[in-house]
């Protein structure tokens, strides 16, 4: 397992990988110390695409990913990748798309365990009433990402 740190406009991102695929993207201030050796060269494609995303030049990531997780979590994370840039959906709509309208809570739990933040866009999922809901990187970052992608939302706490 290797890691690198990418300085994004919303905080340092910890990138992890197994040498063949990206296995994690998380905010550095929300994780324990990275495990394994640092190898910035192993993450050239990921950092280039993150730079293009934050530069407003990329709307869809194309990277080899390894997520682990249960089969259900993998289905949720795959569904998250189909949410178009600049749009949002709800946990209920995701559950319906996965074929189980009663799986809203399970979809929310899987969304919260997404190991590859931003690239698997869990920030694009909001509450059924249009409100911002939890985000592992913090609500301010979720709001920033949605605004960056063109969704004008009320300030956190409004």
Query: Which long-range contacts link 131-138 to residues 24+ away (Cβ below 8 Å)?
Result: 132/156, 133/91, 133/108, 136/26, 136/27, 136/30, 136/112, 137/10, 137/11, 137/26, 137/27, 137/30, 138/27, 138/30
Q: Which of 110, 122, 126, 146 does the annotation list as catalytic?
A: 122
58 noted as active-site residue: no
Tell whether the torsion through CA atoms of 65, 68, 72 and 73 is positive or negative. negative
Please list the active-site residues. Answer: 122
């Amino acid at each position: 397992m290797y890691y690198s740190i990418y300085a994004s406009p919303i905080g340092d991102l910890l990138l992890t990988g197994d040498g063949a695929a990206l296995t994690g993207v998380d905010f550095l201030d929300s994780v324990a110390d990275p495990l394994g050796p640092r190898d910035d060269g192993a993450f050239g494609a990921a950092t280039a695409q993150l730079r293009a995303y934050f530069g407003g030049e990329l709307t869809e990531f194309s990277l080899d990913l390894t997520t682990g997780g249960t089969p259900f979590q993998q289905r949720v994370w795959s569904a998250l990748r189909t949410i178009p840039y600049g749009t949002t959906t709800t946990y209920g709509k995701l559950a319906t798309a996965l074929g189980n309208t009663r799986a809203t809570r399970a979809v929310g739990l899987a969304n919260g365990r997404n190991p590859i933040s931003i690239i698997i866009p869990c920030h694009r999922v909001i509450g059924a009433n249009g409100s911002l809901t939890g985000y592992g990187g913090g609500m301010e970052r979720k709001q920033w990402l949605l605004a960056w992608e063109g969704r004008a939302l009320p300030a956190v706490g409004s």
